[in-house]
Amino acid sequence: MNMSRQVAVIGGGAAGMMAAIQTAGAGAAVTIYEKNDRVGKKILSTGNGRCNFSNEAMGKEFYHGSGKALADEILSAFDVARTKDFFSSLGMRIKARDGYLYPASDQASTVLDLLRYELDRRHVTVHTEEAVRSLSFDEGRKQFLIGRRGKEAFYDAVILCCGGKAAPNTGSDGSGFRLAERFGHRIVRPVPALAALVCKEPFYKQVAGVRCDAELTLQVAGKEAARERGELQLTDYGLSGIPAFQLCRTAAYALLDKKPVMAQVSFLPDFDKASCDSFFRERISSHGEDGMDMFLTGIVNKKINRLLLKLAGIRETERVKDVSPAAFARLKGLYLGLETTVMGTNDFDRAQVCAGGVDCSEVTEYLMSKKRPGLYFAGEILDIDGLCGGYNLQWAWSSGAVAGRAAASDIM
């Protein structure tokens, strides 16, 4: 036990609370600085208020950023099983839905309350409404100096857990990047990840509100860059829902580099060209005398049917047998790949996660800065972002635990 070692955690989000609990558990005296009036505000909005805190399917393939290999090590060092044990030991019953893990209460507040009780139990000092703007290393004392409201406080180690820039109403405003830069760290360009795609075409107004199973293929400068299937949500400005969210960071980086970004939407994701041809052939032979509105009823959502018909240049009242093969070919092409131009993504205010951050090649396997020993990082401040499905919180827990334990014992 090392009660004399003083450790500061800057940022009391998921990563910061986990880091503080682990550091205190290893015997150090820990102080959290949190700019909000309470810790863990973002946790309350996760998983639509239910907190999808992890996922049984885990691996580096679920993560992006400069630290994929590092993420693998950290996620193994404090893995899903240990995360479940940790929360169970605090008193949380856990439930899984298709591998997605939630508190059995279905309340994100359960996760936050248990973390807060544990901070108390481990005598972690929590300073709220304390935004840290100044962090330096005092060469004389060989300690870190945090300047706050005219007071000075010195620490043997500091863990930066300020998050990125996503959802700044929960506190993560990018100020952690500026603190890291003062120690010479490179910040990989931050962009919104897990946010909706804003598209150019005016037709979205006609289908806003529709949810459907679809496959999205993202093309950057004419080449396929990524593909996702799931429940798509059409909005009046473009594409939302999980498949759009998963493609967001790829689109955002391409647009930042001024590359053209297109998406193709397949509304018949189980069909390829051949099976779509035969599906239409059979339908045409049985509906020859019917109007096109009747022909399409039952294929997908009515608003989508109408939109695609219009884009194919076919009238709803036209009889099936009067529609030309060329018009049917256009219609089939639209069902299998409606093309849309991606102009942007929703901004950080409406993003769930921030891609980019502290370059992971500049930290050790214990998440300590290679530029300033004793300075550690955990959570979204690092250039690692996960897919939708509990991966970002798992990264916060795993990285917080690894950095917290290392900071307590000064593992390099």
Ligand X SMILES: Cc1cc2nc3c(=O)[nH]c(=O)nc-3n(C[C@H](O)[C@H](O)[C@H](O)COP(=O)(O)OP(=O)(O)OC[C@H]3O[C@@H](n4cnc5c(N)ncnc54)[C@H](O)[C@@H]3O)c2cc1C
353 binds ligand X per the rule CB under 6 A: yes
* Binding to ligand X in span 160-189, by CB under 6 A: 161-163, 166-167, 170-172, 175-176
402 binds ligand X per the rule CB under 6 A: no
Q: Which CB atom, from 28 or from 167, has the smaller least distance to ligand X?
A: 167
Stretch of 22-30, 72-80, 246-254, 386-394 contacting ligand X, by CB under 6 A = 386-394
> Which of 23, 110, 217, 352 touches ligand X (CB under 6 A)?
352
CB of 54 to ligand X, least distance (A): 7
- For residue 38, the number of C-alpha atoms closer than 13 Å in the C-beta half-sphere is 10
By CB under 6 A, the count of residues binding ligand X is: 39
192 binds ligand X per the rule CB under 6 A: no
Q: Which CB atom, from 12 or from 344, has the smaller least distance to ligand X?
A: 12
Q: Are 355 and 190 in contact (CB under 8 A)?
A: yes
CA distance 369 to 358: 10
240 binds ligand X per the rule CB under 6 A: no
* Binding to ligand X in span 123-152, by CB under 6 A: 131-132
> Which of 9, 22, 33, 363 touches ligand X (CB under 6 A)?
33
CA distance 28 to 365: 21
CB of 210 to ligand X, least distance (A): 22
Q: Which CB atom, from 89 or from 134, has the smaller least distance to ligand X?
A: 134
Q: Give CA separation, 97 vs 50, 53, 122, 389, in Å.
A: 12, 12, 32, 11
Q: Are 20 and 361 in contact (CB under 8 A)?
A: no
Q: Which CB atom, from 11 or from 67, has the smaller least distance to ligand X?
A: 11
- Encoding tokens for residue 268? 């018949």
> Which of 8, 26, 34, 67 touches ligand X (CB under 6 A)?
34
CA distance 328 to 348: 41
Residue 138: its H or E element: strand 134-138
> Which of 396, 403, 406, 407 touches ligand X (CB under 6 A)?
396
Stretch of 28-36, 64-72, 150-158, 245-253 contacting ligand X, by CB under 6 A = 28-36
Q: Give CA separation, 98 vs 54, 79, 121, 245, 385, in Å.
A: 12, 18, 34, 19, 22
CB of 299 to ligand X, least distance (A): 33
DSSP for residue 304:
H
Q: Are 36 and 127 in contact (CB under 8 A)?
A: no
> Which of 7, 8, 47, 155 touches ligand X (CB under 6 A)?
47
Q: Which CB atom, from 15 or from 255, has the smaller least distance to ligand X?
A: 15
CA distance 132 to 8: 11
Closest CA to 5 of 32, 26, 22, 34: 26
376 binds ligand X per the rule CB under 6 A: no
Strand ranges of the sheet holding 143-148, from the earlier edge strand across to the other edge: 134-138, 143-148, 151-155
Q: The dihedral of CA 400, 404, 406, 407: what is its sign? A: positive
Query: In sequence order, what DSSP letters do the residues of 34-67 get, joined into one string?
Result: -SSSSS-HHHHHGGGGT---EESS-SGGGEEETT
Q: Give CA separation, 100 vs 55, 57, 402, in Å.
A: 5, 8, 23
Q: Which CB atom, from 224 or from 349, has the smaller least distance to ligand X?
A: 349
Strand ranges (DSSP E) for 221-253?
A: 223-234, 238-241
The three-state secondary structure class of 344 is strand
Q: Which CB atom, from 219 or from 346, has the smaller least distance to ligand X?
A: 346
Q: Which CB atom, from 181 or from 282, has the smaller least distance to ligand X?
A: 181
10 binds ligand X per the rule CB under 6 A: yes
Q: Which CB atom, from 80 or from 225, has the smaller least distance to ligand X?
A: 80
> Which of 7, 8, 9, 15 touches ligand X (CB under 6 A)?
15
52 binds ligand X per the rule CB under 6 A: yes
Residue numbers at the binding site for ligand X (CB under 6 A): 10-16, 33-36, 41-42, 45-47, 51-52, 131-132, 161-163, 166-167, 170-172, 175-176, 352-353, 379-380, 390-393, 396
